[in-house]
Structure 1
Amino acid sequence: MARFPGSRSFSGTSHQSNSGNRTRLLLALGLSLLFAALLALSMGRAEGQPGGDEPTVDTDRSGARYVSGELIVTYEEPVPESPARALTEEVGATVEKTLPAVDSQLIQIPEVVEEPDAAERERLLEEARQELEADPAVRSADYNYLRQPAAPNDPLYPKQWSLAKIAAPVAWRESTGLGLSGEAVRIAVVDTGADLDHPDLAGKISASKNIPNPTLDADDKSGHGTHVAGIAAAGTNNGQGVAGVCPECTLLVAKVEDTRGYITVASVTEAINWSTDNGAGVINASLSGAGAAESERLAIARAVEAGVVVVAAAGNEGSNVKTYPAAYADVISVGATTRDDRRASYSNYGGWLDLVAPGEAHSTIPGGYGTKSGTSMASPTVAGVAGLLLAQGTAPREVESRLAATTVDLGPKGRDNTFGSGRLDAGAAVGARPRNTHPVVTNVSPKPGTKTKSRTVYLRATVRDGQTNLAKSNITLFVNGKKQNFAYTRSTDRLVRKVKLKPGRNQVKIVARDGWGLSTTRTWSFRTPR
């Protein structure tokens, strides 16, 4: 039996003195006040404070936001469960989720989560991160950075002017998204979900998944993903609503926003893997955030290796600071332009930007239609054209070069940091290109493997392309590794170069790249006398 000062215990009935009653009353009052204080504290937690249902969000030294106490550990190779568990236990962590497609785990360190001081949380998490990365079995340990929709922020524009701007109707004469095999290209929308019952989307969705909450459906609560999905592939020529850039493409909806409104790298990584495994031809991520993560990069690399084109919004900070996933090398990063082909004031820019597209679009929203603007709208416009190209038979790895080679050049001549290669032109990329192959290099001289009579030699070759008229600027000539000048006659497609060579073996290389970005390299050798 618990005893308090001034109280006595008897067998049978009990008796307490007045001082004991006062003591117990004071104790009860103190406990009540303590409970009230704890309740107020739990109800008053905000971002940056631990506890409650909301995750604590901290900021690294570069300003990138991440979920406190969480790390994504990527291993050098598939690691058996026991060594992986031992590694995480060394830093006092528990495994929250496994991402087997990229040999990664999302772990949480309770000591960090429960620490009230932000600076101490950062120190403890960084200490654990460095300890994990020091192990040879670990490829990287990254913060679980937050991603957010590249949110709209411009006034309304006339409905769907962007489709005419990129000449989408011209492109539809050549491709509508139905592949040569009769199967529609699938565009995965990694976003906040979609209105699964929308009349312009319901019949287009092949599959959907709520990544952070698999027991719930992928229905869109914020409207962002619904708008993005409609831009890429809304029902077209169906007598209602709006038209999608890729009319016959179908949709994979990967919802990455959790019930608290957060989007993390862990969810985006899993969504990319799910999209790849479910037959996506194109993945669109109208999301951006600071902080690169190896698991996310590996998921994208895995998708590209599987023949998927990955497109992402550059972000809306009006800055040249890299954002992810757009800044990864395997991603087509998309900025936004206005109706008069200027850079939208919010659109990010820099050497990592690949191209731009209209940043305003009238599209589907939950329960109806609306106009939004942002790089989030530019990205699915490019993704839709990528779907048209894949349906036309373009190899996935050639899509980016095709898009770049057919853009409308804006700003300084050629590629620049404001517009990348230029503004998307679907009509040029799809409609104007006959279905054909790379340039060809034939009739080379001296013949490969032969020996010439003199050390002064005329190098000759026929360099032609059936669909575009090659110019001298499309061709590069190398002799023994050194770039050479040459004459090129466009009417006969004939290249000629007179050169004096040293005796012995000599190598010639000709690289021809056509206006669509398709290239051919022809290399051969011959010998010259002493």
Structure 2
Amino acid sequence: MKKIVTASVAAVAMGLGALTVAAPGNAAPQSSITGQIIVKFRDSGAAGGVLRQNGLSEGAGIGSTGAHLIKVPAGKESQLIEALTRNPAVEYAERDELVTAATADEYFKSQYALQNEGQSFTNTAGTLTVDGGTKDADVDAVEAWPTTRGSGTRVAIVDSGVAIDHDDISDKVVARANFSDTKIVNPEDYDKYGHGTHVAGIVAATHNSIGVAGVCPDCTILDAKVLNSSGVGSSSAIANGINWAVEKGAKVINMSLGQRVSSRTLETAVNNAWKRGVVMVAAAGNAGTQAKIYPGAYSNVIAVAATDNRDVKASFSTYGRWVDIAAPGVNVYSTFPNHPFVLGTQNGRSTGYDIGSGTSMAAPIVAGVAALVWNTPAGTANSTVREKVQSTADNIDGTGTLWEHGRVNACEAVAGDCP
């Protein structure tokens, strides 16, 4: 087993944190993308004229939202949004908000989140010992697998990409699309940051003699790359990724990312996906407060808080009645790229496999459970799948206050032979 970093470092690096990118000097943190805004017109025929009146050109459509991404002079975003909003032909104009990442098999014994017998484990270098904690802190995934293993259900990972050269997850990817500002030149560009590969492994890592096990081992992955090599993206990129995933047949969309400010365009993309029958799951955030994060806070998204191996709220996890459910998110062992990647360079994570902590890790556990439920009699509609996932959660401490439902239970969700 490779070198493993401490949980305190992982919680900062893998989580959503403050959801901003530091600005130079004493400037305020950047919270939106400079040089572009999002505009939706009531009358598409008037778009060209309205934009020309403001010295602007028409821009590309954003998925199924009806909105367009418009290039504007840097520093003029607020002024142009105000001017366009006053025009009766404009339904709305808004900033393009900044989005950041929320972080039988060989290492299965290290995956307390899937099956926890109260054991502890230590990596071969002796740098980390993790106490198994409370036996019931896991999600009973092993007990769910005799009932279903996912059977080809497509789960979209809207994230920083999924590595193309990893024996445990790459072959599960059935389609890829890049909506980030990273140009794919070299193989490592598919996930130079490392976050998406870790998230994808939690959902669907292959059950074989190597590595780790995914919650939904027979699921397939749709790789929607929306975050660049620094783990940063935009609300328009997420909206495009959601639309693409829906068109590619996703039954579940996982978004281990977030932004502080709501976006009408992103909310429209979420609502359109829900109308098309997709279950959407997102990280609740790692601020340790009750502040809402989007897309997790939208009503058609399952927002996921993080618990630890003693079945209590992770210290960093966002919480509150707006959060729907909880799942293990501390020291979650999963895949990382086999090539050097940014999170590894910054925090000493190993290539191949390592731990990550954050609601970014909790969300894909819930997404994997939702994918399993699609392959049961309850899998008739996204509403019934969501209801089953939430109603069968374990009623742990904090349920009803820190999150609306309990900690997810895969076995109960698929109506398996549960302990």
TM-score by length of structure 2 reads 0.79
Q: Does 1:416 align with 2:400?
A: yes
- Secondary structure of the 1:251 match is strand
Deviation at residue 90 of structure 1 after TM alignment = 2.6
Q: Does 1:186 align with 2:154?
A: yes
Quick one: which of 381, 388, 396 aligns to 2:365? 381
Deviation at residue 215 of structure 1 after TM alignment = 6.0
1:457-468 maps to which residues of 2 (within 5 A)? none
* Amino acid corresponding to residue 312 of structure 2 in structure 1: R
What CA distance in whole angstroms lies between the structure 2 residues aligned with 1:136 and 1:169?
57
Contact conserved, 2:335 with 2:353, CA < 8 A, in 1?
yes
Deviation at residue 362 of structure 1 after TM alignment = 0.7
Deviation at residue 213 of structure 1 after TM alignment = 4.9
What CA distance in whole angstroms lies between the structure 2 residues aligned with 1:350 and 1:366?
34
* Amino acid corresponding to residue 108 of structure 1 in structure 2: K
Structure 1 residues 130 and 149 mapped into 2: Cα distance closer, same or farther (>3 Å)?
Answer: same
Contact conserved, 1:173 with 1:431, CA < 8 A, in 2?
no
Structure 1 residues 222 and 215 mapped into 2: Cα distance closer, same or farther (>3 Å)?
Answer: closer
Deviation at residue 340 of structure 1 after TM alignment = 0.6
Structure 1 residues 278 and 416 mapped into 2: Cα distance closer, same or farther (>3 Å)?
Answer: same
Contact conserved, 2:101 with 2:232, CA < 8 A, in 1?
no
Q: Which residue of 2 aligns with 1:345?
A: 315
Q: Which residue of 2 aligns with 1:10?
A: none
Structure 1 residues 402 and 175 mapped into 2: Cα distance closer, same or farther (>3 Å)?
Answer: same
Q: Which residue of 1 aligns with 2:14?
A: none
Quick one: which of 201, 221, 227 aligns to 2:192? 221
What CA distance in whole angstroms lies between the structure 2 residues aligned with 1:215 and 1:47?
23
Q: Which has the higher contact order (CA 8 A, sep 6+)?
A: 2
* Amino acid corresponding to residue 245 of structure 1 in structure 2: V
* Amino acid corresponding to residue 89 of structure 1 in structure 2: R
What CA distance in whole angstroms lies between the structure 2 residues aligned with 1:371 and 1:248?
22
What CA distance in whole angstroms lies between the structure 1 residues aligned with 2:196 and 2:264?
25
Offset from partner CA, 1:73-122 (integer Å, 9 cap, x none): 12346x23xx2122222333334532252111111222xx1xxxxxxx3x
Q: Which deviates more, 394-403 or 293-302?
A: 394-403
* Amino acid corresponding to residue 133 of structure 1 in structure 2: T
Deviation at residue 319 of structure 1 after TM alignment = 1.2
Deviation at residue 214 of structure 1 after TM alignment = 8.3
What CA distance in whole angstroms lies between the structure 2 residues aligned with 1:158 and 1:108?
50
* Amino acid corresponding to residue 264 of structure 2 in structure 1: E
Q: Which residue of 1 aligns with 2:37?
A: 71
Structure 1 spans left out of the alignment, 5+ residues: 1-45, 50-57, 114-120, 152-156, 179-183, 435-530
Quick one: which of 318, 322, 329 aligns to 1:359? 329
Structure 1 residues 47 and 430 mapped into 2: Cα distance closer, same or farther (>3 Å)?
Answer: closer
Structure 2 spans left out of the alignment, 5+ residues: 1-20, 116-137, 339-351
* Amino acid corresponding to residue 102 of structure 1 in structure 2: T
Contact conserved, 2:389 with 2:408, CA < 8 A, in 1?
yes
Quick one: which of 71, 85, 88 aligns to 2:51? 88
- Secondary structure of the 2:224 match is strand
Q: Which residue of 2 aligns with 1:26?
A: none
Q: Does 1:248 align with 2:221?
A: no
Structure 1 residues 76 and 346 mapped into 2: Cα distance closer, same or farther (>3 Å)?
Answer: farther
Q: Which residue of 1 aligns with 2:62?
A: 99
Q: Does 1:125 align with 2:93?
A: no
* Amino acid corresponding to residue 379 of structure 1 in structure 2: A
Deviation at residue 262 of structure 1 after TM alignment = 2.7
Q: Which residue of 2 aligns with 1:303?
A: 273
What CA distance in whole angstroms lies between the structure 1 residues aligned with 2:224 and 2:282?
14
Deviation at residue 300 of structure 1 after TM alignment = 0.8
Offset from partner CA, 1:408-461 (integer Å, 9 cap, x none): 11225xx52313211011111113389xxxxxxxxxxxxxxxxxxxxxxxxxxx
1:200-211 maps to which residues of 2 (within 5 A)? 200-211=168-179
Contact conserved, 1:91 with 1:109, CA < 8 A, in 2?
no
Structure 1 residues 64 and 407 mapped into 2: Cα distance closer, same or farther (>3 Å)?
Answer: farther
* Amino acid corresponding to residue 225 of structure 1 in structure 2: G
Offset from partner CA, 1:309-337 (integer Å, 9 cap, x none): 00000011111111111011110000000
* Amino acid corresponding to residue 186 of structure 1 in structure 2: R
Quick one: which of 356, 372, 389 aligns to 1:403? 389
Contact conserved, 1:148 with 1:263, CA < 8 A, in 2?
yes
Q: Does 1:289 align with 2:255?
A: no
Q: Which residue of 1 aligns with 2:143?
A: 170
Structure 1 residues 418 and 327 mapped into 2: Cα distance closer, same or farther (>3 Å)?
Answer: same
Greater per-residue strand proportion: 1
- Secondary structure of the 1:380 match is helix
Structure 1 residues 261 and 343 mapped into 2: Cα distance closer, same or farther (>3 Å)?
Answer: closer
Quick one: which of 161, 186, 207 aligns to 2:112? 161
What is the identity percentage for the equivalent residue pairs of Structure 1 and Structure 2?
37
